[in-house]
Amino acid sequence: AVTTVDRETDRRMPHWKAADRWLCVGGTAGHEAPEALRPRAGEAVVSKTHFSAFGAPALERELAALGSDTLVLAGVHLHGCVRATALDAYQRGLEVWIADDAVGSDDPLHAAVTRRYLETRAARFLAVDEVLTRLAGRAALDPPRLAHRSPRRTAETLFSIPVGGARETAAASAAASAAGPAWRARSEADRRAILTAVAETFERAAEALARSIAEDVGKPLSQARAEVARTAALVRNAAALTPGGEPAAGSGSRFRRVPRGVVAAVTPWNNPLAIPWGKIAPAVALSNAVVWKPAPPASRVAVRSLELAREAGLPGDLVDAVPGDHRTAAALMGDAAVEAVTLSGSSTAGWAAQEVCARRRIPLQAELGGNNASIVWTGADLGRAAALVAAGAFAFAGQRCTANRRAVVETGVFDAFLDRLAAATGALAWGDPLDPATEVGPLVSADARDRVAATLAAARASGASTLAPHAATAGARELEAAGAYLPPTIVVGAPPDAEIVQEETFGPVLVVERAASFDEALVLANGVRQGLVAALFSGPGPWRERFREAARAGVLKWDASTADADAVAPFGGWKTSGIGPPERGPGDLEFYTRVQTLYGEA
């Protein structure tokens, strides 16, 4: 079903008329489906004018002729057209499947509400692969499993995991809740000793853990080793956390900090150890229990790290992992025993978490990525700036929330900086992540590679030019044929409103923009919806103070790439990059405990 508007009859929806919006006009590009979704020969197409596809009488005739008892829905918008069509199909007695990874929205919070509403009433959300399996007449996997392919060799399946649901998350959260009182009854010294032992155990297993990270998510081995070291530092630092004293709040009263209880940790694949244990360690140091939902590609590393932690003395039920996908995360966050949620992930994941946590009125801490800019200005050491920006943009194929996504460069030094940037990029070792010399490896999956490649193609179509020094090197074709490799790519000349400028690519892409004045540079650097990290390379002058006062990001750096953060300082984003208190520092105490005021206690 295709929404079709005719300018002569003008049967637009009333809210489109009120806003004077002409969308989906027949015969225009806005009416055409993307290539992958265009009708195939023999497929019927019906035109509609409002939300529901059942607004087109021809649809019911087609369904009756086919004898259909099931309707599969994909497309946009999940909160409008898809929702209305699903409800109308449900009213007609049809079974409704919604292709979970083939629906979209420009209002993600509304879409999250719609997803929950439909899933509990009128429709089943299934992955495209599962839909195809069912349509082919094969029995669906029961329970469903997710397969993870090697980033290095995408034809090779490394492992598969079950998709946990409400039953599994409820069991884990109940066990964690039961384990909490005994953990809280231990002395601070005892808890500190166990966490210190966990850090030491990770350090002893560093080489095996680093290799697993390199194999499973494609992080170059040298960077995976650094992640293990960082994880141990995060755990060791968290071990020293304490709720603190109980200062007087007034005559006859005082207050104390008490643990939340069971905390849900939802974590990404790109730092499969450091991000999760940067959440788990402070949570348990402050006497909470944790149920952890790792991203599917990180599941094998997650399980191994839990085994090591338990060997070091961490109680088994106090921290547990439930593997799965976003449905597992939704079930966990919605579980009645969970009293707080900490999440690192995409903006879409943040919207979904906000909907669940707002409905349940529990606190949410979320780090939701960055579209980070470095300004390169008067007096900067251009060679050093180029080397640091290139490494920050392309190490680990740009798959870091702090990666340098954009460089805003003064017009007077633009060409000189670009020359040095191309040379610094070409000098980075691109290849197998298991090679200790590699600095840039593959993306995590073929889908991720194809998504980034499509974004680059759209940028070129909009008039931007691209430079990929590794593309013509020996062995490039072999790498790209074997795994999810995409050469580091510099983009120049993209319009400020282009997708590749405005959105986080999460791949080996660096956008370089010109600025004629420092005011313009600040506008460009701040001109995206994210605000995680910003950096400035400059010589002496007023630039540093102006940058400090005007940059809209949670982390600011001078003469350093946006990439990386230490294990001690608070870490959190502004604007759409963050929700709730930052990780580490005072944020840990604020998030993992809550204040209780006591009156008249003897």
Of 459, 586, 476, the closest CA to residue 510 belongs to 459
Give 153: exposed, middle or buried? Use CB within 10 Å, 0-12, 13-18, 19+.
Answer: middle
CA distances from 394 to 70, 269, 410, 508, 564 (A): 46, 17, 22, 5, 13
Q: From CA 339, how far away is CA 359, in angstroms rounded?
A: 13
Of 292, 569, 216, the closest CA to residue 224 belongs to 216
Q: From CA 591, how far away is CA 150, in angstroms rounded?
A: 36
Helix orientation angle between 347-360 and 108-119, rounded to the nearest 10 degrees: 60
Instruction: Please give the structure tokens belonging to residue 82.
Output: 């898809």
* Residue 401 among the catalytic residues: yes
- Indicate the SS3 state at residue 313: coil
Helix, strand and coil percent figures for the chain, each rounded to 5: 45, 20, 35
Instruction: Please give the structure tokens belonging to residue 538.
Output: 């400059």
Dihedrals φ, ψ of 566, to 5°? Answer: -80, 180
Return the bridge partners of 109, or none: none
Give 373: exposed, middle or buried? Use CB within 10 Å, 0-12, 13-18, 19+.
Answer: buried
Cα angle 90, 96, 101; round to 5 = 140
CA distances from 218 to 20, 130, 278, 300 (A): 48, 26, 21, 14
Instruction: Please give the structure tokens belonging to residue 14.
Output: 């009333």
For residue 250, give every residue at least 6 positions away whose Cβ sits within 8 Å of its Cβ, in sequence order, or none.
none
The residue annotated as part of the active site, out of 130, 367, 504, 513, is 367
Which secondary structure element, helix H or strand E, spans residue 294, and what is its range?
Answer: strand 289-294
Evaluate the CA torsion angle 414, 417, 419, 424 in order and state its sign: negative
- CA neighbours within 13 Å on the CB side: how many for 408? 28
How far does the chain reach from its first CA to its final CA, in angstroms? 71
The residue annotated as part of the active site, out of 357, 401, 439, 504, is 401
CA distances from 316 to 291, 304, 307, 596 (A): 11, 13, 9, 29
Q: From CA 205, how far away is CA 305, in angstroms rounded?
A: 9
Q: From CA 500, how far away is CA 505, in angstroms rounded?
A: 7
321, 303 contact by CB (below 8 A): yes
Could you give the residue numbers annotated as active site?
A: 367, 401
